[in-house]
Amino acid sequence: MEVGEESSPTLAFEKDALDLTVEDVYDISYVIGRDLLKISSTGEEVSDLKFRIVRILEMFETLVNKYNLSLEELKMERDNLKSELDRLIKDGSAGQRIVGPNQLLVDLTDPNRPRFTMQELKEVLQERNRLKAQLMVAQEELQLYKSGILPQAEPAMVEVDLEIPATTEHSSATINDAKEERMTIGKL
């Protein structure tokens, strides 16, 4: 049994320095103290050496203790961050959305989610505005017909092209088409 007790403190010498605990420092101190007792204590030099070794072991104990405390603090901080992350994930899945700047979070199960790109939306809005302007012109023309300022022409069916022309080369044709559209709408 004595062999097991003696070999246990010496195992601390085989450990990596970063893996040492305060108990390992106590084991190292025990082994060094035991070895120093074997040395003859007759000289003053041996006594000074013993004092220096004890002082180094005390410093070693302090360093290991600080390292272990720092390690414990880091572990606690890690655990706190993990719990915060779990809470954020739970909140996010419960309906609260945390989104950074310039990011859009879309819930694919939401029936009211956006279904158009920004460009498509711009095009739809431009088309709506163009049609609104045409409607206002038609309403004004209708008012003029009703008041009798513009003579009523006989009803005729004219095909109306609502597309915006791609080039400006046919601008006079476009103006004529616009006038025909107004007349047609007015007749309707």
pLDDT per residue as tens digits for the range 41-50: 566 777 777 7
Per-residue pLDDT at 73:
84
Same domain, 124 and 84: no
Q: Is the pTM of this model over 0.95?
A: no
Same domain membership, residue 125 and residue 71: no
Q: State which residues form the domain around 86.
A: 2-93
Q: Do residues 137 and 182 touch, judged by C-beta distance below 8 A?
A: yes
Examine the pLDDT at 83 and tell me if it is beyond 60.
Answer: yes
Residue 127 and residue 51 in one domain: no
**Do residues 23 and 86 share a domain?**
yes
Alpha-carbon span 11 to 75, nearest angstrom? 26
Whether 89 and 54 map to the same domain: the answer is: yes
User: What CATH number should be reported for the domain holding residue 29?
Assistant: 1.20.58.1770
Per-residue pLDDT for 171 more than 70? no
Q: Are residues 177 and 127 in the same domain?
A: yes
Distant-in-sequence, close-in-space partners of 126: CB < 8 Å, separation ≥ 6: none
Alpha helices (H) in the chain, listed in sequence order: 2-10, 22-38, 44-93, 118-147, 171-187
Is residue 134 very low, low, confident or very high in pLDDT (cuts 50, 70, 90)?
very high
Per-residue model confidence (pLDDT) at position 135: 93
pLDDT of residue 55: 81
- Give domain status of residue 24, yes or no: yes
Q: Region 168-176: what's the mean pLDDT? A: 53
Q: Using CA atoms, how far apart are residues 59 and 56, in angstroms rounded to an integer?
A: 5
The answer on 134 and 78 residing in a single domain is no
Q: Is 21 exposed, middle or buried (0-12, 13-18, 19+ CB in 10 A)?
A: middle
Report whether pLDDT(128) > 90. Answer: yes
Query: Is 103 a member of any domain?
Result: no
**20 falls within a domain:** yes
Give the SS3 label for residue 153: coil
Report the number of distinct structural domains present in the chain.
Answer: 2
Same domain, 6 and 78: yes
- Note whether residue 159 is domain-resident: yes
Same domain for 145 and 66, yes or no, is: no
